[in-house]
A and B are shown apart, each in its own frame.
Chain A
């Protein structure tokens, strides 16, 4: 029984990280109906930059996380400007293909020897791992750190979305671009901000992931990215609470299937869930029905 509880805590840790990534997917989709394929790779870049921050650049851990978030926010905004904005009025698939291209570019660019190199890197942790018990199960301080950071960021996001003007603007634009523009909202800026915030969250997720599972490489973002996307769809794409809910569920599924079924098949199980959700309830658990206008 303690084994199960420990796995649940592991799943929670992973789920929190997925939540940070899933939020970026859901917000971008909500605002421009694009599946930002490259988002998982921003997560990867965040992991690398953060780790470099507290190792090679000697920054204190929180500062390293902040730096990583800023770098990735800039990267996200730049990508939107260069690779997605030109296609805003093109067929939906064109932007998706561009996103795929950006994703591949990030992965292979970071694999180049003068960037991060193609190999796995073992990461040193910024602090000693300590364990203590809760309800008979082992809990690490890393899990606590992840939980605290993620919950803080979620609270910050919630505040921003509902108590600030920019948040209100984001919600307006995700409903109707034209109406928002008529209200005087600078839609382009809002979209850029969305990308920036989503990327920053993913970056934080990346650093936390690196600390929790201390091995990083340029293709780190693929599986967590796809699973976080599944989480966003599961929760209802476009819905912020949905993304978090979906991520918690996906975290549990991922860890429990690896522990009790087979670690070989954890990815296959994750994707099967995605396909089933898309077929059975594409609007997800908390999403709203959308109709095509004839």
Chain B
């Protein structure tokens, strides 16, 4: 017979309203800063981009951080979502809100479907080979994007696609990011998340313990890629033009760095790191000026190598910010979020 839990208070850590309160506060703060002219167009773009990157990174967190499937082609799905949604809005939607939402969904769905097709054969591979296969897939997709102009002239091929109505503003981006956070959180703390972690930890044992590893891995992969597609769809509506070079291998590495740095198996770590990473890079750009472009790759690489050698499980190593835990969620030794009534 479970003990009747003491009330925790709505705003205490783990309390029911803390997370929504924090998120609302964040949003309100951002709007206030914009209205007061303290956050100019450039920094608004960075803020939006950080949330878009966070959404896509959550996808890779599901795939790799939780389920242990090493995907080096995440940017390809990001790009597939961007092109799908961008085309839909450019050709038919023209900025209409319903078409916009439709295009976001289409971006996610297309990315998810491609993930199913690709995932079924390649998820059988062992992790280092899976990395190479997804890397190869990413390159194939990029080549297709570069040559897409021959099939669909509106994509602009290697010169990039313009003309997508820029209707993704902070509100939209914020809503999607928040939805993604809740979705990932809920899944991670459910039977699905547990099966993913089991597979990550020991796939052979998971199989022997009754887990249908093929189905679970494919699910993680499809959901993660769909999130990337969704983020890409937002991206297409926030920038004046979309170019294949934004979806290359280095972009996949970007996502990888975020997930690894933020801690494998920590979705709150992923979100925090994504936002911090985007701002850090912009800060570096501000400091280094023109030299930034030159040094960016060097800095990336050194950070990646340093983190993986010193903290192979990432900076947060699998711990979650307890405020974000759902009811009945727990990590080792931490205060649990007590259920209410």
Contact = CB atoms under 8 A, between A and B. Distances in A.
Closest 3 CB pairs of A and B: A108-B297, A105-B301, A271-B136
B321 interface: no
B12 interface: no
17 contacts: A35-B131, A35-B132, A93-B70, A96-B70, A100-B304, A101-B302, A104-B250, A105-B297, A111-B297, A226-B139, A264-B146, A268-B143, A272-B136, A272-B140, A274-B132, A274-B136, A278-B125
A278 B129 contact: yes
B300 interface: yes
Contacts of A47: none
**Of listed A91, A101, A271, A272, residue having the most chain B CB within 10 A:** A101
A219 B155 CA distance: 27
Given A112-B295, A279-B121, A83 B305 contact: yes
A101 B136 contact: no
B296 A94 contact: no
Interface in A251-294: 264-265, 267-268, 271-272, 274-275, 278-279, 282, 292, 294
B296 A98 contact: no
A90 B122 contact: no
A102 B140 CA distance: 23
A100 B300 CA distance: 11
Interface string B298-309: 101110110011
A104 B312 CA distance: 18
Interface residues of A, number: 41
A233 B128 CA distance: 12
A229 interface: yes
A156 interface: no
Contact of B308 (A87, A103, A268): A87
Interface in B82-132: 121-122, 124-125, 127-129, 131-132
Interface of B: 70, 72, 121-122, 124-125, 127-129, 131-133, 135-137, 139-140, 143-144, 146-147, 204, 250, 253, 256, 260, 294-298, 300-302, 304-305, 308-309, 312
A93 B128 contact: yes
Contacts of A96: 70, 128, 131
Contacts of A103: 301
Contacts of B294: 108, 111-113, 118
Contacts of B135: 226
B129 to A, nearest CB: 5
Given A35-B128, A35-B132, A267-B139, A104 B204 contact: no
B198 to A, nearest CB: 16
A85 to B, nearest CB: 10
Nearest to B72: A100
Contacts of B131: 35, 93, 96
Nearest to A218: B297
A226 B304 CA distance: 21
A61 interface: no
A87 B297 contact: no
B140 A104 contact: no
A78 to B, nearest CB: 13
A97 interface: yes
Contacts of B122: 275, 278-279
A87 B312 contact: yes
Contacts of A112: 294-295, 298
Given A92-B128, A108-B297, A275-B137, A265 B302 contact: no
Contacts of A265: 143, 147
Count chain A CB atoms within 10 A of each CB in B124, B250, B308, B312 and give the residue with the most.
B308
A97 B301 contact: no
Contacts of A275: 122, 133, 136-137
Given A97-B256, A112-B294, A272-B140, A83 B309 contact: yes
B311 to A, nearest CB: 10
Interface centre among B124, B298, B302 (most CB of A within 10 A): B298
Contact of B301 (A101, A233, A279): A101
Contact of B305 (A90, A105, A282): A105
A35 B31 CA distance: 47
Nearest to B150: A264
B298 A109 contact: yes
B204 A292 contact: yes
Contacts of B253: 100, 104
Chain B CB within 10 A, most for which of A90, A97, A102, A267 = A97
